[in-house]
Amino acid sequence: MRVVRVDSTEWSQLAAEVARKRGRLIALWGADRTDIGEGLVVYAAFASLERLELVPALKGFRGLVCAQLPLHGGDSYPDLTPHFAAANRMQRAAHDMTGVRADRAIDERPWLRHEAWPADYFPLRNDALERAPPVSDEPGYRFVQVAGDGVHEIPVGPIHAGIIEPGHFRFSIVGEKVLRLEERLGYVHKGIERRFQQMAANDGYRLAGRVSGDSTVAYAWAYCMALEHAAGCAITPRAAALRALLLERERIANHLGDLGALGNDTSFAFGLAQFSRLREDWLRVNQHLFSHRLLMDRVVPGGVCIDVDRAGVDEMLEQGVAIQREVGALRAIYDEHAGMQDRFMGTGIVTPELATRLGLCGLAARASGHPRDLRVDFPCAPYDRLDVRVATLQAGDVAARVAVRFDELFESLRLLRLLIARLPDGATCVDVPVLDKEQFGAGWIEGWRGEVLVALEAGPGQKIRRCHCHDPSWQNWPVLEHAVIGNIVPDFPLINKSFNLSYSGQDL
């Protein structure tokens, strides 16, 4: 990872070059540094597989770049949406929280504010806690209107049945065919980013692991990687292997759950029952071996807080054999079920071209012809020695996203066998040095849904100045809006589940 300070010209040049070389915008966020005389600052994290040339400080560099643009008493910066469509909601969220504003952006509607506070109050400004946010008298959110004969709207949410988090979906339809879908997320206002600033750096991993609970290992690892990078700390090979083992177990648990839910969305209750049983068995082994079903708080600064003995290794290997056999049989049933395949195939298509234009990432991108995976493209230990096989297809429909999940589940089982066979001896955790000056670090991990980024600024006294956690759902929610177009309304739950994006990761 490279951190580079840029001016507004270099900011735009860097974005244009990364886009031209088919790189990606990973995240964008703002920060208030007025207490140290820098004013407002906007950050953007870019990733490029090709070497960069235009910005002198990055000449010849490839990988993750974090560009830092001081606004020198102002609040505006060059808009990135001409280069990256995914920048739209990130820029709107950054304005809601810190007041940094994309200059001449086409869409300046609030994203996270929800009329909960007025437009001139910014919760992540340094002075925000000095006054309670007044009640907003702003009018309601302006959804895009679709006009025409027979067009009508179906509003869904934000309150849903069960325990699902809030999200609003505004469908514009003719008959049963969807003409447009617009989402509205971020209703909870959890205050996670402000809470980080009230914590010690060595404790922040616990909060990071709760940003999106189904990705707790990925977030905790990304946070710890960021802190370790800032402190110049290297973890042991055994700790790295155990982190990867936990991450792959998290990936498998989520794929098991979603494959069952996808069967259920086609009225194939047998699939839901079988995959739910397998997932429950998997989580019970997590509890038995690592003392937490979802593996929360197992990854800690400097390594992991757990270890596994010979009996635990044997139990995981035995369970892996059983899961491989049973999922193999279930895949054959799914593939041969005519009714299910009729619902899967040709539904919710995202073409490779659309995936590129909108910045789709993670397993959904791999199902649309983009074999991007951090475990291969920019592998950290121990993935740099595992030769991960990337699952990818071209069709970009629900069937492809289901097939990629099956392939990734089997690959994770293979990786678990390799990790166990090669598990090195040694300590599972080292002490992370106390920071004696302000440092910046970033952690970047391929979670089950896609790339998780944590950017951390911390300094003397282990104080967190700013911690920004980015979920891959930021990129993928807008793509879901396009995937639904032209499909019938009853297929939306199926298309939605084939992505299974995070509400919580959008709502810090």
Close Cβ partners of 9 (under 8 Å, ≥ 6 residues apart): none
**CA dihedral sign, ordered 405, 407, 410, 416:** negative
More confident position, 300 or 129: 300
Longest CA span, the chain: 70
Domain coordinates of the chain in residue numbers? 2-141, 192-302+310-423+456-504
User: Is the Cβ–Cβ distance between 457 and 467 less than 8 Å?
Assistant: yes
Residue type, 463: K
Close Cβ partners of 311 (under 8 Å, ≥ 6 residues apart): none
Rounded to whole angstroms, how far apart are CA atoms 456 and 468? Answer: 7
Phi, psi of 221 (to 5 degrees): -65, -45
Each as own residue / partner, the long-range contacts of residues 222-225 (CB below 8 Å, 24 or more positions apart, any chain) are: 222/443, 222/444, 222/445, 222/452, 222/453, 222/454, 222/469, 223/443, 223/454, 223/456, 223/467, 223/469, 224/299, 224/300, 224/301, 224/302, 224/443, 225/380, 225/441, 225/442, 225/443, 225/444, 225/445, 225/454
Q: Is the pLDDT of residue 135 over 90?
A: no
**Helix, strand or coil for residue 430?**
coil
3-state helix, strand, coil in the chain (%, to 5): 45, 20, 40
Q: Which two tokens stand for residue 40?
A: 């407002």
**Helix, strand or coil for residue 131?**
coil
Pairing of strands 39-48, 63-70: antiparallel
Number of Cβ within a 10 Å radius of residue 191: 12
Q: Is the pLDDT of residue 475 over 90?
A: yes
Q: Which two tokens stand for residue 3?
A: 């951190």
| Closest CA relative to residue 193, chosen from 184, 182, 204, 185 | 204
Number of Cβ within a 10 Å radius of residue 112: 22
Rounded to whole angstroms, how far apart are CA atoms 258 and 275? Answer: 8
Q: What is the mean pLDDT of residues 471-499?
A: 97
Fold of the CATH domain 2-141: Beta Polymerase; domain 2 (3.30.460)
- Confidence bin at 82 (pLDDT 50/70/90): very high
Question: Would you tell me which CATH number, out of the four given (1.10.645.10, 3.20.20.70, 1.10.10.10, 3.40.50.2300), belongs to the domain 192-302+310-423+456-504?
Answer: 1.10.645.10
The CA-to-CA distance between both ends of the chain, in Å, stands at: 24
> What is the overall mean pLDDT for the chain?
95
Q: Is the pLDDT of residue 449 over 90?
A: yes
**Helix, strand or coil for residue 285?**
helix
pLDDT for 5-16, tens place per residue?
Answer: 999 999 999 999
Q: Looking at 199-236, list the stretches that DSSP marks H as alpha helix, in order from N- to C-terminal side.
A: 204-208, 216-231
Q: What is the mean pLDDT of residues 301-326?
A: 97
pLDDT score for 157: 87
Q: Which two tokens stand for residue 142?
A: 């302006």
Task: Point out which residues pair with 110 in neighbouring strands.
Answer: none
Phi, psi of 132 (to 5 degrees): -75, 140
Q: What percent of the chain has pLDDT over 90?
A: 88
Q: Which two tokens stand for residue 318?
A: 């035995």
pLDDT score for 164: 83
- Can you spell out the DSSP letters for 312-324? HHHHHHHHHHHHH
pLDDT for 47-67, tens place per residue?
Answer: 999 999 999 999 999 999 999
Q: What is the mean pLDDT of residues 371-384?
A: 97
| Closest CA relative to residue 366, chosen from 414, 320, 411, 418 | 411
Tokens 């960069």 belong to residue = 52
- Confidence bin at 457 (pLDDT 50/70/90): very high
Could you tell me how many helices (H) and strands (E) the chain has, helices first?
15, 14
Q: Which two tokens stand for residue 62?
A: 């490839």
| Closest CA relative to residue 227, chosen from 249, 246, 241, 208 | 208
pLDDT score for 27: 98
Residue type, 310: R
**Helix, strand or coil for residue 144?**
coil
Q: Is the pLDDT of residue 131 over 80?
A: no
Reported as type and span, the H/E element at residue 158 is none
The DSSP letter of residue 138 is P
Give Cα separations from 169 to 141, 154, 158, 178, 206 (angstroms): 13, 8, 7, 12, 31
Rounded to whole angstroms, how far apart are CA atoms 451 and 258? Answer: 18
| Closest CA relative to residue 402, chosen from 470, 330, 468 | 330
pLDDT score for 297: 98
| Closest CA relative to residue 98, chosen from 42, 181, 168, 150 | 42
Rounded to whole angstroms, how far apart are CA atoms 300 and 429? Answer: 8
pLDDT for 348-360, tens place per residue?
Answer: 999 999 999 999 9
